[in-house]
Amino acid sequence: MKAVVQRVLSASVTVDGNKISSIGPGFLTLLGVAKGDTETQLHKLITKIAALRVFPDAEGKMNLSLKDIGGEHLLVSQFTLLGDASKGNRPSFIGAEVPALAEPLYNKALELSRLAGLPTQGGVFGADMKIDLINDGPVTLILEV
């Protein structure tokens, strides 16, 4: 399981010309589910994201978490994070979980994020999504479980 977590001032997802979700300050997380990933790994990942201390405190140091600042979470499924371009120029996605198994884990990720106390929005699994964001910092982390 792989996640790209970006600190944002705002972010939104549009599908077929309709804005379906948007957040203010917080995290945009792109989530890639690999073959064999489990709910246990997902729980560990979401717990880590909720506790990441990358927001500035009163002294400007990165000491505060998403929960500390009352930030929002936009969580988007992104199978291409599991792409392997080590051979040739066309990535292989054989490491990504099949949609029938990845979608329930993505939905569980949304649920776990909300249960962690984070106001959470999502994308549409498998849709052609357009994502607008304003990076903050920029601060971007790649997490693997």
- CA torsion through residues 130, 45, 42, 27, sign: negative
Residue 74 has which token pair?
């936009």
Give yes or no: 38 in active site.
Answer: no
Q: Which of the residues 80, 93, 121, 125 is marked catalytic?
A: 80
- Domain coordinates in residue numbering, the chain: 2-144
**Topology (CATH level 3) of domain 2-144:** D-tyrosyl-trna(Tyr) Deacylase; Chain: A; (3.50.80)
Taking only the tens of pLDDT, the chain with its 145 residues reads 999 999 999 999 999 999 999 999 999 999 999 999 999 999 999 999 999 999 999 999 999 999 999 999 999 999 999 999 999 999 999 999 999 999 999 999 999 999 999 999 999 999 999 999 999 999 999 999 9
Spatial distance between the Cα atoms of 60 and 42, rounded to a whole number of angstroms: 31
Give yes or no: 79 in active site.
Answer: yes
Q: Which of the residues 6, 27, 29, 78 is marked catalytic?
A: 78
